């Protein structure tokens, strides 16, 4: 069959709750279908995350759709995630439509825009449908929240609007999988129930044979098939999107390396402390470092025993002024300053973290809140003002510490200026850290041990990561495994997608799902 003549098809993976594995399941099917010759693209109508990515169009989307696009062999597009909500308070979010900032608003105000939002969602879906023959979609959170049904645009509302068969994803590791599945079917409407083709049960541990009667019960009770019982797959990690995912990442990472930290080999590793800011964002900047075997990362909420670390990283923040206030209140300022004054120690700030390294952060338009000004850590001679317009762009350039090429993306409301005067008599002035095609960026002190930048994805640049880790190792006085020079991060990531697809293909009745997706059988 000529794949270019394929009938348009789609499928949507909805969840019985949050963090049940919808994104990973959708990613697996993107890869599976790509291997089978489908021209496939991912889609999520609405995402809520402060962990975003900048596409080639210069717009923001959620990280999960970036991962899914990579699994499809595609460049990410704003149309793969037309609505992105970036929480900036307990009550409201910054609304991003088709990659561009629409404004800050409370949930009630956002719901008032439903017709306009749905129009953008429909427009983006149709653009993808015109270019690709199969769309793999995922929902958000639980698909059966009664109180949110009226405002739904991403779960059953999306499935109904495009006539997509639904695969309901449940998480047996959470417990109560029977209640998850049967309860969900009881709550949804008959029309929605008719769209449900069957179920995938994720994160199984133990002997699958012991759950055979469980599968039989679910199928008998619901009249719908269980497509697969998928064992926990620890070798694949989709980019975390929210604080819940981050906390799980921190917990699993800490548990996995606890014994390593206690071993003699720990002394030969690079220890990095990352400040766990309350409004942390774009924490995937650190993922590539976490995957380096010579690096141990610890997320800290309190400045305890900082002297045992080699590097402190202040990550991005969706509410920089508030998080800087938190640093003052939690007693971080003096310990970080003392750390920076020590020999052989580095302090790095990424985006919001870069702003915090400066003298002062101003918010004259009250974009982030009522606090118009706060003092920074004072480690870099820069001043930041948060403005009404957001900078969203991909950037390429060279760093001034090692002189290597770097590339990444920028997402920031702040504008940071380097002061030409030295704050301390006799001290050399700070300089810009990067020279990008769009102009100078960031700052670095004269000692070269404190630097900050607006560039997300800095450590994804292999040459920079190699030089950075070698530099830290040299300062620490340890031998560094130069395997990083041979390690191809993107090739390893691509191989990981293949492994994920193989894992799901082994435990899921993929053929059955494809037949339903192509509407060859009555579901």
| Domain enclosing residue 415, as ranges | 243-485
Element containing residue 496 per DSSP (H, E): helix 489-507
Whether residues 283 and 384 share a domain: the answer is yes
Whether residues 407 and 267 share a domain: the answer is yes
- What pLDDT does residue 244 have? 55
Whether residues 247 and 229 share a domain: the answer is no
The secondary structure of 12-78, three-state, reads EEEECCCCCCHHHHHHHHHHHHHHCCCCEEEECCEEECCCEEECCCCCEEEHHHHHHHHHHCCCCCH
**Of 76, 6, 79, nearest in space to 37 by CA:** 6
- What pLDDT does residue 150 have? 87
- What pLDDT does residue 4 have? 41
- What pLDDT does residue 302 have? 96
CATH of the domain at 223: 3.40.50.300
CB 355 within 8 A of CB 319: no
The parts of the chain modelled with pLDDT lower than 70 are 1-7, 90-91, 237-266, 421-428, 481-487, 520-523
Assess whether 456 carries a catalytic annotation.
yes
- What pLDDT does residue 119 have? 96
Whether residues 212 and 260 share a domain: the answer is no
- What pLDDT does residue 250 have? 60
Residue 103 domain-assigned (yes or no): no
Alpha-carbon distance 441 to 431, whole Å?
Answer: 10
Whether residues 125 and 251 share a domain: the answer is no
Q: Please tell me the total count of domains within the chain.
A: 2
Alpha-carbon distance 370 to 364, whole Å?
Answer: 9
Whether residues 264 and 174 share a domain: the answer is no
Residue 308 domain-assigned (yes or no): yes
Residue 186 domain-assigned (yes or no): yes
- What pLDDT does residue 256 have? 47
Angle subtended at Cα 304 by Cα 300 and Cα 305, rounded to the nearest 5 degrees: 115
385-435, pLDDT tens digit by residue? 999 999 999 999 999 999 999 999 999 999 999 987 655 444 567 899 999
Whether residues 250 and 224 share a domain: the answer is no
Whether residues 445 and 501 share a domain: the answer is no
Whether residues 478 and 500 share a domain: the answer is no
CB 455 within 8 A of CB 438: no
- What pLDDT does residue 452 have? 98
- What pLDDT does residue 120 have? 96
- What pLDDT does residue 423 have? 52
**Of 341, 274, 283, 280, nearest in space to 309 by CA:** 274
Query: How many alpha carbons lie under 13 Å from residue 274 in its C-beta half-sphere?
Result: 25
Assess whether 279 carries a catalytic annotation.
no
- What pLDDT does residue 251 have? 56
Residue 96 domain-assigned (yes or no): no
Whether residues 267 and 232 share a domain: the answer is no
φ, ψ of residue 78 to 5 degrees: the values are -60, -25
Q: Exactly one of 79, 351, 412, 503 is catalytic; name it.
A: 351
Q: Exactly one of 79, 412, 456, 503 is catalytic; name it.
A: 456
Please report, for residues 145, 223, 312, 315, 453, the alpha-carbon distance to residue 332 in angstroms, rounded to integers and kept in the order given: 40, 57, 11, 14, 20
CB 96 within 8 A of CB 85: yes
How distant is the alpha carbon of residue 267 from its chain centre? 31
**Of 358, 326, 371, 351, nearest in space to 413 by CA:** 351
Residue 1 domain-assigned (yes or no): no
Whether residues 299 and 439 share a domain: the answer is yes
Whether residues 274 and 408 share a domain: the answer is yes
């Amino acid at each position: 069959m000529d794949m270019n003549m394929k009938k348009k098809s789609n499928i949507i993976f909805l969840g019985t709750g949050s963090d049940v594995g919808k994104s990973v399941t959708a990613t697996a099917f993107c890869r599976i279908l790509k291997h089978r010759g489908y021209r496939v693209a991912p889609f999520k109508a609405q995402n809520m995350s402060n962990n975003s990515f900048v596409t080639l169009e210069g717009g923001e989307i959620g990280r999960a759709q970036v991962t899914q696009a990579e699994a499809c062999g595609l460049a990410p597009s704003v149309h793969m995630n037309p609505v992105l909500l970036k929480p900036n308070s307990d009550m409201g979010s910054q609304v991003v439509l088709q990659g561009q900032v629409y404004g800050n608003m409370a949930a009630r105000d956002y719901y008032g825009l439903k017709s306009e939002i749905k129009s953008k969602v429909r427009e983006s879906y149709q653009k993808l449908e015109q270019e690709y023959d199969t769309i793999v979609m995922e929902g958000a959170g639980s698909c059966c929240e009664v109180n949110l049904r009226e405002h739904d645009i991403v779960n059953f509302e999306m499935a109904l609007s495009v006539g997509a068969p639904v695969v309901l994803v449940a998480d047996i590791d959470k417990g109560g999988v029977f209640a998850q599945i049967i309860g969900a079917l009881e709550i949804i409407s008959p029309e929605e129930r008719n769209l449900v083709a069957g179920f995938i049960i994720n994160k199984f541990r133990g002997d699958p044979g012991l759950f055979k009667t469980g599968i039989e019960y679910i199928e008998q009770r619901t009249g719908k098939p269980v497509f697969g019982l998928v064992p926990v797959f620890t070798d694949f990690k989709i980019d975390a999107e929210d604080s819940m995912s981050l906390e799980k990442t921190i917990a699993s990472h800490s548990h996995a390396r606890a014994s390593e930290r206690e071993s003699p080999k720990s002394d030969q590793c690079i220890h990095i402390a990352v400040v766990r800011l309350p409004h942390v964002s774009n924490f995937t900047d650190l993922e590539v470092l976490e995957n380096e075997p010579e690096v141990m990362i610890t997320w800290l909420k309190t400045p305890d025993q900082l002297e045992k670390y080699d590097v402190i990283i202040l990550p991005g923040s969706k509410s920089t002024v508030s998080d800087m206030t938190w640093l003052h209140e939690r007693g971080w300022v003096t310990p970080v300053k003392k750390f920076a004054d020590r020999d052989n120690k580095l302090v790095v700030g990424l985006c919001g973290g870069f702003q915090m390294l400066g003298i002062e952060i101003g918010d004259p338009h009250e974009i982030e809140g009522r606090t118009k000004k706060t003092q920074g850590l004072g480690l870099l001679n820069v001043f930041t003002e948060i403005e009404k317009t957001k900078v969203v762009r991909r950037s390429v350039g060279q760093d001034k510490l090692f002189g290597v090429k770097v590339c990444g993306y920028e997402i920031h409301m702040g504008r940071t200026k380097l002061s030409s005067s030295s704050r301390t008599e006799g001290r050399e002035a700070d300089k810009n850290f990067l020279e990008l095609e769009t102009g100078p960026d960031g700052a670095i002190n004269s000692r070269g041990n404190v630097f900050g930048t607006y560039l997300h994805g800095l450590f994804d640049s292999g040459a920079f990561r190699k030089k950075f880790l070698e530099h830290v190792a040299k300062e620490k006085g340890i031998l560094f495994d130069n395997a990083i020079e041979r390690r191809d991060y993107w090739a390893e990531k691509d191989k990981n997608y293949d492994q994920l697809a193989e894992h799901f293909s082994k435990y899921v009745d993929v053929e059955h799902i494809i037949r339903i997706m192509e509407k060859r059988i009555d579901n």
